[in-house]
Every structure is written in structure tokens, then in C-alpha cells.
């Protein structure tokens, strides 16, 4: 295969798409009254209704989604995030960021035009939808992961700062909350009841265009994508673009059946293949994040793959179904249960395994510590193996709300000036900024700045700075020395 498959999350996909070239890219990134639903579900019309005549082509009437948009559009929100500041420093590239569209210009025209090495603030856009009137919102984990500030905008133009209750990177689900009441909500549907070929509707904010509606059909179900072993994606041909991430996928009844998460593209834009996380998967994650603050999943410790006809023949199977075990982790629950490479798992806890993606999903939903039966085909014979399911270790930083106070309420990592540095400032005391995040990064504070005062009170120690920040209200003014200038910088605190 001559092309390389690349997987990229799409919170900032507008810029990313410009640099991936021709590679294939996965970008990471809602009930109507029964009378109206019946009207929307237009009947199929056959070209020849005579019973003795052969069936003619079946034509579906045009689908009107306007009722769904009108009723549930207000429950779909725009999410804007401010990411962590990061310093750009690379000796080989003269401190240039390879993802910056202007970096090539600066490379071409010499070191005299180097870009300044200073903290950068990452901004991104996404979508989400309200699932409870008191402000609980679902979106994609990659939309808010690492965010210092999350702002939710409603269709009535109200804006709220949101708190990230938890994220789960493995399912790409996040739960956030805004401080509001009596909000419009979506209705949750059942993805297992929808069929391939049925119309679906997406609402989101592609490229920042709020509350944009796009429609298409379900192209496939239970799609397995590389590096996404725990999500049986719903594939559609609905136009989904960067900014749609986290938005809802509706069925004809106006119920949410999925969360738009990824696209498959050569260009970074929509090319007819989009993937949504089934809403039942998302709601299981949401319940655990809200209740426990983390997601617990079962684990076997095996690698599995799909079977084709040749493999099924060689393993004595009548059909190419089941999960072929390609490797077993030593000391894992599967190893302790006696599972071997070459085994074909055809059922788990009474559930048939059709595709290999079915197994990780079933195991992940199993409580760790419980013992479940598996039917395994080995050497042409079916045997039952009981396995005690282990617990999957969470990815680092999963299920944790993004914090804006990692470096204090202000988002500053500082140290007192040494004697030489004080001498350079004419003997003045202060705190040297070594790193920034959160409110300080948003306000434009930079590494190398010297904090001289907080709300008019001179500061000379970290403890003093923290106390002043703790006692401050929602806003604080820092007196900063930068180069030969002293400036006041206002910070809006969470």
C-alpha cells in the first residue's frame, strides 16, 4: 500500500489538515411528537404495485429534517477551548513550529526573520449537546483534552464557562457542565434499532459555523478503526468537518444515536466517510464519569483479529466469524485461563462474536473480578474456558478534568529573583516567570516576565503570590516587567 494512514484528532484540524498532504487522515473530530415523526418517515413507494409483476425499483420520498432541527437544534452547543501554552524551541528549525503555516516562510528567508520563541496558546472549536436541563453536556474527549478554559455558547447567544467533569480518551467521550437551569435537551435513542441505509442528521459547528445541519444515511454499523478497539463506530456519509466533533447524530425520530467523532479524508475535509460513537457506549461512559470520576473497564490481555475465508478454513470454521487470538500477554487473565494464540473466540458470556471488534467491547463492559465463560474453537473443537476478567489500566490523565490551577490559580510557575537578576532590575525584588498556563497564558504572560506586584501589592515570594491570588476575586491585575517596560496585565480567574 503506497499511502500512509494517519490518525489525527480534529479539535485544531483546520491547521493540521494543511500539513498532512496526501495521507489518509482520521480527524477526531439528537424526540419528535409521534404525529410529526410519522410525517417525517415518508412511506416507500414502489414503481409497480401489481402482485403478479416483478418488484420494480423502490424510491424513498425526500426526508424533511426541519422539525428535528427546530426542536433539538437549541440543545446543540458550540464549544470553544483555550489550550495549554507551550514554548516553541527547536535548534534544528530555528525555534519554528512545523505546524505553523508561516514557518516555511521564516525558514526560507533566513535566521534574521526567526519567529519569537514564546509560549503559544492553542485555540480550538468543537460541538456538544445538552443531556440534562441543569447543564450536563456530552462532547468528544479530544475537544476538551488539555483545555485550560472551555466556553459553551448556546443558540440564544448566551455563553458559559464550563467545568470538565471527566474525559475518557479510549472512547473519546467527555462530560462537561455549565452553571445554568431549564436548558433544552436532546432525547437519547437506541443505536441497535437503526439500520444501514436509514437517513440520519448531524448538527454541529463545522469551521465555527454554529448550528449547521447536514444529512445523509447510515453507511455501515460496528466499524472497527485502528487504535479504537472499544468503539463499534456508526459509519455515515453525513458531511462532518472540523468543528463537528462532539455534535449529535440524530435518527428520523429525532433521537440521538451517536456522537460525531472522526472523518476519513485525504484532504482534511469531508470526503463521504464519517464515524460516530454509538450513544449507548457514550452514556455508559458518562454514567461512570459522573458517578465515579473515572471509567473502569474489563481486560483479558489478548490481541485479536478478524478472520477471512482462508483463515476460517484453516481453523476448521464453517464461517469467517469470531475473534482470532494472535497473541496472549504473559500473566494476563487470558493467560491464566489457558487461552492460546490460534484460538478462535466465538462467544463471550453467552454473546456471539461475529467480528473481532465485538470482543473488546463486551469485555470492557464486564466488571473486573467477575468470571465469565468463553466458547473457543481450538484444533477444530469447541471448548468452554472460564476467565476471570482483569481491570484495564487507564491512560495517563484519563478521567480527570482539565485543570487550570496546575501552577496555582493564576497559572504561573515562578521563582524569586536571584541577586544578579535583582541587580539587573536596579535592586528591585520580584518573581521570574518560568512557565505559564490557564488564565496567565490567556492574558499573554510570557516566560521571562517578572511579576512585581499583584493588585498593587509588591510580591517577592511564591507563598505571597499564592495568598494574594487566593484572596483575589474574579479579576486580578499583575504589574509585569518585560524588557525595559512595566505594564499592567489583567487576568480573569476561573
Q: How many of the other CB atoms lie within 10 Å of CB of 283?
A: 15
As a 3-state breakdown, the chain gives helix, strand, coil percent values, each rounded to 5, of 20, 35, 45
Binding-site residues for substrate, in ranges, read 142, 172, 243-245
CA distance 75 to 248: 10
Written as nine digits, the cell of 293 is: 470520576
CA distance 428 to 458: 10
Written as nine digits, the cell of 373 is: 465463560
The strand pairing partners of 261, in sequence order, are: none
* Catalytic position from the list 103, 205, 245, 265: 245
Binding-site residues, in ranges, read 142, 172, 243-245
CA distance 403 to 443: 17
Written as nine digits, the cell of 185 is: 435537551
User: Phi, psi at residue 16, to the nearest 5°?
Assistant: -60, -40
Is residue 172 annotated as part of the catalytic site, yes or no?
A: yes
Residue corresponding to grid cell 480518551: 169
User: Phi, psi at residue 21, to the nearest 5°?
Assistant: 65, -135
Instruction: Evaluate whether 187 touches 256 at the Cβ level (below 8 Å).
Output: yes
Residues in the chain: 494
CA distance 120 to 113: 18
Is residue 91 annotated as part of the catalytic site, yes or no?
A: no
Instruction: Evaluate whether 323 touches 345 at the Cβ level (below 8 Å).
Output: yes
* Catalytic position from the list 80, 103, 142, 449: 142
Is residue 23 annotated as part of the catalytic site, yes or no?
A: no
* Catalytic position from the list 97, 172, 251, 358: 172
CA distance 59 to 44: 6
Let me know if 192 is exposed, middle or buried by CB neighbors in 10 A (0-12, 13-18, 19+). Answer: exposed
User: Phi, psi at residue 482, to the nearest 5°?
Assistant: -130, 110
CA distance 391 to 413: 36
3-class SS at 113? helix
3-class SS at 229? strand
Q: Which residues are catalytic?
A: 142, 172, 245
Amino acid at each position: 500500500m503506497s499511502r500512509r494512514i494517519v490518525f489525527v484528532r480534529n479539535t485544531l484540524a483546520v491547521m493540521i489538515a494543511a500539513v498532512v498532504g496526501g495521507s489518509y487522515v482520521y480527524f477526531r473530530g439528537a424526540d419528535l411528537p409521534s404525529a410529526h415523526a410519522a410525517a417525517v418517515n415518508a412511506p416507500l413507494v414502489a414503481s409497480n404495485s401489481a402482485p403478479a409483476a416483478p418488484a420494480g425499483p423502490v424510491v424513498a420520498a425526500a426526508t424533511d429534517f426541519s422539525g428535528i432541527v427546530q426542536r433539538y437544534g437549541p440543545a446543540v452547543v458550540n464549544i470553544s477551548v483555550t489550550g495549554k501554552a507551550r514554548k516553541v524551541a527547536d535548534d534544528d528549525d530555528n525555534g519554528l513550529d512545523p505546524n505553523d503555516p508561516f514557518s516555511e516562510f521564516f525558514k526560507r528567508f533566513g535566521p534574521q526573520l526567526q519567529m519569537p520563541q514564546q509560549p503559544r496558546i492553542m485555540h480550538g472549536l468543537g460541538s456538544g449537546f445538552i443531556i440534562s436541563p441543569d447543564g450536563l453536556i456530552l462532547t468528544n474527549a479530544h475537544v476538551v483534552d488539555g483545555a485550560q478554559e472551555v466556553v459553551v455558547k448556546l443558540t440564544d447567544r448566551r455563553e458559559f464557562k464550563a467545568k470538565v467533569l471527566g474525559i475518557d480518551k479510549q472512547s473519546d467521550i467527555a462530560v462537561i457542565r455549565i452553571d445554568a437551569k431549564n436548558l433544552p435537551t436532546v432525547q437519547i435513542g437506541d443505536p441497535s434499532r437503526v439500520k444501514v441505509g436509514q437517513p440520519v442528521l448531524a448538527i454541529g459547528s463545522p469551521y465555527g459555523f454554529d448550528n449547521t445541519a447536514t444529512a445523509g444515511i447510515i453507511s455501515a454499523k460496528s466499524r472497527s478503526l485502528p487504535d479504537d478497539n472499544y468503539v463499534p463506530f456508526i459509519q455515515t456519509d453525513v458531511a462532518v468537518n472540523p468543528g463537528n466533533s462532539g455534535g449529535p447524530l440524530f435518527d428520523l425520530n429525532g433521537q440521538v444515536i451517536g456522537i460525531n467523532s472522526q472523518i476519513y479524508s485525504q484532504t482534511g475535509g469531508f470526503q463521504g466517510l464519517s464515524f460516530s460513537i454509538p450513544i449507548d457506549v457514550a452514556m455508559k461512559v458518562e454514567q461512570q464519569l459522573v458517578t465515579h470520576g473515572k471509567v473502569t473497564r474489563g481486560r483479558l490481555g489478548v490481541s485479536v483479529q478478524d478472520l477471512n475465508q482462508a483463515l476460517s478454513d484453516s481453523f476448521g470454521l464453517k464461517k469467517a466469524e469470531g475473534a482470532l487470538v494472535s497473541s496472549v500477554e504473559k500473566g494476563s487473565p487470558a493467560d491464566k485461563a489457558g487461552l492460546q494464540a490460534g484460538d478462535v473466540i466465538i462467544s463471550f458470556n453467552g454473546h456471539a462474536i461475529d467480528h473481532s471488534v465485538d470482543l473488546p467491547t463486551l469485555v470492557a463492559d464486564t466488571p473486573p473480578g467477575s468470571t465469565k465463560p468463553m466458547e473457543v474453537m481450538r484444533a477444530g473443537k469447541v471448548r468452554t474456558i472460564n476467565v476471570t476478567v482483569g481491570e484495564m489500566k487507564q491512560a495517563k490523565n484519563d478521567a480527570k478534568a482539565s485543570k487550570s490551577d496546575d501552577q496555582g490559580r493564576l497559572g504561573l510557575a515562578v521563582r524569586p529573583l536571584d541577586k544578579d537578576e535583582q541587580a539587573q532590575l536596579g535592586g528591585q525584588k520580584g518573581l521570574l516567570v518560568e512557565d505559564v498556563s490557564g488564565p496567565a497564558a490567556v492574558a499573554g504572560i510570557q516566560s521571562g516576565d517578572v511579576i512585581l506586584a499583584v493588585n498593587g501589592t509588591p510580591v517577592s515570594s511564591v507563598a505571597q503570590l499564592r495568598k494574594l491570588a487566593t484572596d483575589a476575586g474574579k479579576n486580578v491585575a499583575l504589574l509585569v516587567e518585560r524588557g525595559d517596560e512595566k505594564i499592567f496585565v489583567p487576568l480573569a480567574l476561573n
